[in-house]
Amino acid sequence: MHSAVLLIEFGSIILGLGLLGRFAARFRFSPIPLYLLSGLAFGEGGLLPLGASEEFVATGAEIGVILLLLMLGLEYTASDLVSNLKAHYPAGLVDCALNALPGAAAALLLGWGPVAAVVLAGVTWISSSGVIAKVLGDLGRVGNRETPVILSVLVLEDLAMAVYLPIVTALVAGVGLAAGSVTLAIALGVAGLVLFAAVRYGRVISRFVSSDDPEKLLLVVLGLTILVAGVAQQLQVSAAVGAFLVGIALSGEVAEGAHTLLSPLRDLFAAVFFVFFGLHTDPASIPPVLLPALALAVVTAATKIATGYWAARRSGISVKGRWRAGGALVARGEFSIVIAGLAVTAGIEPSLGPLATAYVLILVVLGPLTARYTEPLAAWWTRRGTPQDHGATEPLPGARTQTPVRD
């Protein structure tokens, strides 16, 4: 009976996620808020709490995090990361300062303590690479001059995760200063070693993993990733960081083939991860933190726009492109939930999970809107003080024009 109930519940979850994904695709927006809301509906205090399948969903959610970070690592080569770090590190520092500090300050003002402050700083800092990439594609801006600037900021954030996640893992585990320092040193050493090996021996590693048979390639890459993630977690470095480093080490045709094969699995288990996070958030706990989440969303949306504007200006992009770069970076999503999930699992602050859920729900919806309308709104605001000839009316913000967007 237990096995039958588990299959029925888990099958219903997967079917529901598929239908929600189709609904989101039909209306061209991210399915992440729908996945989170479905988790709220089936969690404690929800409409229909789950029972038998929760432990199974937890395992699927952990695999989802691992695949998210693996796929992220496959997007970059080690040389890409090194060159981005050298060329754009000032933008990364500005991004961290403007967007991590509001989260840390909010946690301290709410009286949650320094550990929660470090966690919430990461939640507000990291943009959603998945949502932003989809929005850029939908808006036809992949070839725009500001797009490399946006991607550089995202790459630096992702690289920073390799250092940040071990710190958070050690803090929420409650280890002492000495043990935490050892954990961080191990994480930095492993990350540096993998980057060095990927730069010097990336082709050798890729040839070892490579296979003309898609089945064998999938099994080797997936098995290697989960094995390394498990070893990393055993060393308290973070399973996600281990998966990210495996992705970086693979390159060329192997990376492309693995990306194609693993994309459906990534989408499936990532959706399960969002549901699992929602399961551990009581819907009744969200209204008390809704105003702080909304205020934090407004502040950090503005700081992300400022970050993108500054980074684009530093790269010599036109004013329109600067506003588009800023608006594109607003969305938060998968990595904010990954970070908050560490704190929720450790139980360091009961209100942190609900606040992170509300915050991500707001910005994952607001992000595509700011990407589309920040530049026309800025242009409209600039023209407000300009006299209009012959009583001409001002165009509405976001109105279609014949001006090309690739300047």
Tell me whether residue 16 is in a domain.
Answer: yes
**pLDDT band for position 169 (50/70/90)?**
confident
The two tokens of residue 25 are 């695709």
Q: Is residue 115 part of a domain?
A: yes
Mean pLDDT score across all residues of the chain: 82
Is residue 407 situated within a structural domain?
no
Check pLDDT > 60 for residue 400: no
Q: What would the pLDDT profile of 261-272 be if each residue is shown by its tens digit?
A: 888 888 888 888
pLDDT tens-place string over residues 359-391: 998 998 898 889 989 999 998 888 875 555 444
Residue type, 262: L
Domain membership of residue 395 (yes or no) is no
Better-predicted residue by pLDDT, 187 or 167? 167
Please report, rounded to a whole number, the percentage of residues in the chain having pLDDT higher than 70: 87
Contact 66, 24 (CB under 8 A): no
How far apart (Å, rounded) are the C-alpha atoms in residues 124 and 103? Answer: 6
pLDDT of residue 140: 83
pTM of the predicted model, to two decimals? 0.78
- What is the 8-class DSSP label of residue 111? T
Total domains, the chain:
1
Containing structural domain, residue 176: 2-20+29-380
Asked if residue 329 has pLDDT above 90, the reply is: yes
Q: Is the per-residue pLDDT at 82 higher than 80?
A: no
Please tell me the predicted confidence (pLDDT) of residue 327: 95
What CATH number did the domain enclosing 328 receive? 1.20.1530.20
Task: Find out whether 362 and 298 touch, Cβ atoms under 8 Å.
Answer: no
In a domain, 402, yes or no: no
pLDDT tens-digit series, residues 276-324: 878 777 788 889 999 999 999 999 999 999 999 999 999 999 999 999 9
| Residue 405 falls inside a structural domain | no
Proportion of the chain above pLDDT 90, given as a percent: 27
The rounded distance, in Å, linking the Cα atoms of 74 and 128 is 16
Residue closest to 333 by CA, chosen among 7, 34, 101, 100: 34
Instruction: Show the DSSP H helices in 110-234 as ranges.
Output: 114-125, 129-138, 147-172, 177-209, 214-234
pLDDT at 326 (0 to 100):
95
End-to-end CA distance of the chain: 63
